Structure 1
């Protein structure tokens, strides 16, 4: 069993190493930070959506921004569209599962806001519908996907495509990228002397 554990850790580390060496991935993270800081600085907000593990990431990152990451500072306007069971079930029942995030974007999004769209495959219908709704509202869109996520990437202002096809490895890399983005947003919005 210890060999399997080491192999799993090394697989994750290798994915992160490939991402760190991928100039496009590093640049995408930097551009996502810049876009987010510009939106927040202008009074905008960040909306997050994803399914399954990506829903957990959406909630996690919104929580890091609203509460705190490394240090105490004012809260930042971030909303996870994955958390309100009454909205999710009402929209799912009345309009269909594919509309659970799009309907919230239509209700809460505004020009200048940023939608964070997380889908490891890049093909989740409810995420693509949310992206379309964000575009219709004049919002910017950033994507988080894997190596096969060309469909999502084509619709985004900036997209982090993790160089992996395994869902768990993509999610692990997304988590590292998300923490990096939260830390950098915090430092840029509220610099410490």
Structure 2
């Protein structure tokens, strides 16, 4: 039996389209809250702190970069940091304090009331993402989570949770980056930067 690459791709697109349709139908209200929170954070002089593991770490970096550099037009930078990029901090925290403290420790060092912590976990069960959100809340930061599947434990740790209705990690990640980029565009418009 030979593998049909074209048929495989068609199946991937079909699943993507289904998840995108379902996500779009349920994301309006939580996305609007996310944009409100991000706008309040930036207008108040705060910063957005993004974090996650693996592909979610990549998403954190991607979204933070769009905000600090540009999304649609050249404009003033928006303060955003991905807590997934400092290899010295990541390895020291992992080695000395344990992997679960990876984001909590950085939030304790860098986060301030008025900032917005955005944790990304496709399962909603990543211990270091949950610990990061818990630390952010304890310090008075607003908290948002991007999740998937049934949301895991994110609702216990975040003020707003955007859950992609899928059990497929790839589809969840595709929706996370779409939502993240939509956040960048909406925030530019809200702030009058585009």
TM-score range, shorter chain: over 0.9
Cα distance in 1, alignment partners of residues 155 and 173 from structure 2: 16
SS of the residue corresponding to residue 62 of structure 2 reads helix
Alignment of 1:23-62 (within 5 A): 25-62=27-64
Please give the per-residue CA displacement for 1:47-81, whole angstroms capped at 9, x wherever unaligned.
Answer: 00000000000000000000000001000100000
Q: 2:170 aligns with which of 147, 168, 171?
A: 168
SS at match of 1:8: helix
Decide whether the 8 Å contact of 2:56 with 2:120 is kept in 1.
Answer: yes
TM-score, with length taken from structure 1: 0.96
**1:10, CA displacement in angstroms?**
1.5
CA contact (8 A) 1:73 1:190 kept: no
Give the equivalent residue in structure 1 for 2:9.
Answer: 5
Task: State the 1:26 CA deviation.
Answer: 1.5
Moved over 4 A (4+): none
Gaps in structure 1 of 5+ consecutive residues: none
2:24 maps to 20
Task: Provide the TM-score with structure 2 as the length reference.
Answer: 0.95
Number of residue equivalences: 190
What's the C-alpha RMSD, in Å, of the aligned pairs? 0.9
Partner of 2:96: 94
Query: Distance in 2 between the 1:191 and 1:69 partners?
Result: 10
Report deviation, 1:191.
4.2
Please give the alpha-carbon distance, in whole angstroms, between the structure 2 residues aligned to 1:189 and 1:71.
13
Query: CA offsets per residue over residues 122-181 of structure 1, 9 Å max, x none?
Result: 010000110111011100100000132141123211110001111111101111111111
State the alpha-carbon separation in 1 of the partners of residues 163 and 149 from structure 2.
6
1:189 shift after superposition:
1.3
Alpha-carbon deviation of 1:19? 0.8
